[in-house]
Structure 1
Amino acid sequence: MEIENNKKRKTKNHDEVVTLPPELIEKILLPLPLKSLIRFRCVSKQWFSMISDSHFTKSHFDLASNTNDNMLLYFPPDKSVARCVDVEGSIHHDYAVQIPETYEHYSLRVMGSCRGFILLINCVNGTHFVVWNPTTGFHATVSYPSPLLRGDMYRPHQLWVGIGYDKSSDDYLVVAGWRDPFKTSKHRWDFFSVRNNCWKEIETRGFHSNFLITCNSGVFYNGAIHWLAVRTDGEGGRVIVAFDLEGKNLSILSLPPVLHGGGTPMLKLFGGYLGISYMSWQTWRNELWVLKEYKVESTWTKLNNYIPLDDTFTPMCLTKSNECVGRRNINMLTKFGERGKLLESKVIECDSHIIMTMFEKTLLTLPRNKREDDH
């Protein structure tokens, strides 16, 4: 009798665990780190559905916005997989990620990243953009805004693209600008709304097209997408062209004056700020500048403590521990501490045309568009 009662108590306790209300399970799962959630998606269909739900992933992202891991992704030539590196840990611990797009040698391009999504394009025979979350493998295609951009019509510096998130409408936008192939002085800008599933032309009245975009890939920061450009109105000098996703308008930001006397800069995020890295012609080494207060040009600040005295090093990011990770001597991935102290170095499979990008590790999904909701 006692054995039978113990069995009943065990069965009852087991049933109580299994029948926990979904709301309580969600509260238990939400504070957990992303690595645990990825594993827990395999527990059951119910947990997989819950953890993959857009409401859950958005709530988890908002809770972990300051602790999300920064990941470095690089694409070896002619491979079907990319390599992913957690820069907050050891750069030696990388792993393979399946690429959702078939591409030929050097034809794949990364056009931007935002909240865990990476925007890809096949610039040779492509017919669409690919929005991809490397963490979950989720991907979706976005058609080109114009037939003129397909096939052989694509040329470097004729198309500049970026992806961003509009918090006011909970929507992701793919923004594309290009020069008219028949009127090279004329620019056209369009944006694609994931939620509305359509392209719309951006009104550029009052915004002069007296610049040439020199960086095709846009950098999302502070609710806007940014591209590097050169003025063509006789004044010369480099500037940043910014598209505000909520206001749907274009503006120009100035760069530090010293950058006008150096090599071609690269626009990236460094330590949570919009930043520039470039080769100084005076010191023949890369320098870092960050914009401490957005749109206040006087707050451009030079960061020297993290860059080694090495003209072959190209910085990619600053970690949460103020370490600098980047590429060195073409085929080396390296991490430096303060004052340029070498911490780690790793040989990677690449060449001079290697593609590298940074992204946040998230479980986010794209919002459902209106066409899907209608069904």
Structure 2
Amino acid sequence: MLRHDLPQDVVVEILSRLPVKSLMRFNCVHKSWYALMRSHHFITKHHKFATSNNLGRGVLFKYRSSKGHLCVSLLSNDTLEVSRDVDLLSLFPDKIDYLPCIYGPCNGIFLLQGLYKMGDNAEDLVLWNPATRETKVLPEIKRGCRYNSGKHLDCKFGLGIDPNTNDYKVVRIVDCHGCRQQPQFEVYNLSTDSWRVIDRSPSKLYNIHSSRFPSYLNGFHHWKAAEVYMKARGKGWMFPEHGPTRMFIVSFDMSNEVFLETPLPTVPCALGSLKKDIAVINDSVSLIVGYRGTRNLRNGWFDIWVMSSEIGVERTWTKKFKVEGSGLEFADRLLEIREDGLVILHKIDGSMAVYDRKTQELRKFAKYGNHCYECLAVTYTETLAFMNGGGNISE
């Protein structure tokens, strides 16, 4: 009755405000609705409405159980209670042994990396939409003979969207440890379902580190990087040489497919170790710096620095705020700084906790396995984007 009694533009407005779960059921109402929900215009409209109104949000939580098993759950954005558990290992075409990283989200899409043997070069990559439960297995890339010699390969990834074509892209940086060869840079396009090797690589002296936090924003994916001085020792082998290390951010332009550098701010040093990582917080590229207390070495705090908006030019960094208070420890794993001012932490006793920056109150509410470096929590907004023949989503 809705389809016949209301004008088409009104129907589109109503449907664009519904959750993805409902829209997936409405696929069977009529062929016109099926086509509408796969159109680029409707997917974009639906996602923009959900993003601007804080609707359709969930939290992906990855952790190790007390028995050492990998567990992934989707949590309610409001209560952080488990809404459903996900067997990510079943999303791969074959049984994998290790899931080292989950990249994203990028407009509701995640990139999963699965290894068939820890330390081996055999891997599978899967794009996953948790809202529609759709997956896309990426094709295997055929590398040159220089990467088929059995040497250990270190791969870094980035997931983003080309804002000019609205196409999802995956960037893979392949580095051969201990050899003279420059890293290889590969780009996957969802629209063509194929990989390409690009020759616009940054300096071969880069040592690039993947972030634990979402690090894509407005057409750029960001990594923390350092300039490494290498010295040849023996035939074909290179080893790090002591010297000054320049720290910066490497940003990949998804449209022009070039790398840009941005210097990191000079942060004050304090007693104890410093932990640094980059993240996108409240639509800004940020630097998270963790400190250990000077009197009580168990205590800790985090400084958050925010970068000005223009990429690749002389930048200004501003220390935006500090996360500190009773109950925070240096060993705490910071999982996410949310837009509502709450900070999600994984405590050393394995419990999940929420810290309110406004009241400086810490509240433990659940225990999920053991405290470990693999723990991950990230908020995402549901999307209708289809990866197997459907419309992609613009920004």
TM superposition score category, shorter chain reference: 0.7 to 0.9
Structure 1 residues 29 and 306, CA, compared in 2 at 3 Å: closer, same or farther?
Answer: farther
Structure 1 residues 343 and 172, CA, compared in 2 at 3 Å: closer, same or farther?
Answer: same
- Asked if residue 327 in structure 1 is aligned to residue 346 in structure 2, the reply is yes
Letter in 2 for 1:342: L
Aligned partners of 2:274 and 2:140: how far apart in 1? 32
> 1:292-311 to 2 correspondence within 5 Å?
292-294=307-309, 295=311, 297-305=315-323, 309-311=328-330
Q: Give 1:237 deviation, angstroms.
A: 3.5
- Asked if residue 252 in structure 1 is aligned to residue 247 in structure 2, the reply is no
Aligned partners of 2:187 and 2:362: how far apart in 1? 43
Structure 1 residues 275 and 181, CA, compared in 2 at 3 Å: closer, same or farther?
Answer: same
Question: Who wins on radius of gyration, i.e. which is larger?
Answer: 1
SS in 1 for 2:29: helix
Q: Give 1:107 deviation, angstroms.
A: 3.8
Alpha-carbon contact 1:277-1:286 (below 8 Å) kept: no
SS in 2 for 1:258: coil
Structure 1 residues 162 and 260, CA, compared in 2 at 3 Å: closer, same or farther?
Answer: farther
Structure 1 residues 43 and 119, CA, compared in 2 at 3 Å: closer, same or farther?
Answer: closer
Letter in 2 for 1:361: T
Superposition CA RMSD, Å: 3.3
- Asked if residue 64 in structure 1 is aligned to residue 59 in structure 2, the reply is no
Q: Give 1:252 deviation, angstroms.
A: 1.5
> 1:1-375 to 2 correspondence within 5 Å?
16-17=1-2, 19-20=4-5, 24-32=10-18, 34=19, 37-43=20-26, 45-46=28-29, 49=34, 52-55=37-40, 56-66=42-52, 67-68=54-55, 69=57, 71-76=59-64, 82-87=72-77, 89-99=78-88, 100-101=91-92, 106-125=98-117, 126-147=122-143, 155=153, 158-180=154-176, 183-184=179-180, 186-204=182-200, 207-215=202-210, 219-233=215-229, 234-258=243-267, 262-281=273-292, 283=294, 285-294=300-309, 295=311, 297-305=315-323, 309-329=328-348, 331-338=350-357, 340-366=360-386
Aligned partners of 1:319 and 1:112: how far apart in 2? 15
Q: Give 1:17 deviation, angstroms.
A: 4.2
Q: Give 1:307 deviation, angstroms.
A: 6.1
SS in 2 for 1:65: helix
Residue deviations 1:150-184 (CA, integer Å, cap 9, x gap):
997555xx210111011111100000011245734
Structure 1 residues 94 and 255, CA, compared in 2 at 3 Å: closer, same or farther?
Answer: farther
Alpha-carbon contact 1:160-1:216 (below 8 Å) kept: no
Residue deviations 1:9-68 (CA, integer Å, cap 9, x gap):
xxxxxxx54634665432321133x2xx41353256036735742432222012222325
Unaligned runs of 5+ in 1: 1-15, 371-375
Aligned partners of 2:318 and 2:81: how far apart in 1? 33
Alpha-carbon contact 2:102-2:111 (below 8 Å) kept: yes
Unaligned runs of 5+ in 2: 230-242, 391-395
Residue deviations 1:168-220 (CA, integer Å, cap 9, x gap):
11100000011245734511111111112222222226x32222123377721
Alpha-carbon contact 1:124-1:154 (below 8 Å) kept: no
Range with greater deviation from structure 2 (255-264 or 63-72): 255-264
Structure 1 residues 43 and 355, CA, compared in 2 at 3 Å: closer, same or farther?
Answer: same
Alpha-carbon contact 1:277-1:315 (below 8 Å) kept: no
* Higher strand content, 1 or 2: 2
Alpha-carbon contact 1:97-1:134 (below 8 Å) kept: no
SS in 1 for 2:22: helix
Residue deviations 1:80-118 (CA, integer Å, cap 9, x gap):
86212234x122344312421365564442133311111
Structure 1 residues 289 and 17, CA, compared in 2 at 3 Å: closer, same or farther?
Answer: closer
1:10 is matched with which residue?
none
Aligned residue pairs, count: 348
Alpha-carbon contact 2:100-2:114 (below 8 Å) kept: yes
Alpha-carbon contact 1:113-1:162 (below 8 Å) kept: no
Q: TM-score, normalised on structure 2? A: 0.76
Aligned partners of 2:269 and 2:225: how far apart in 1? 12
% same residue: 14
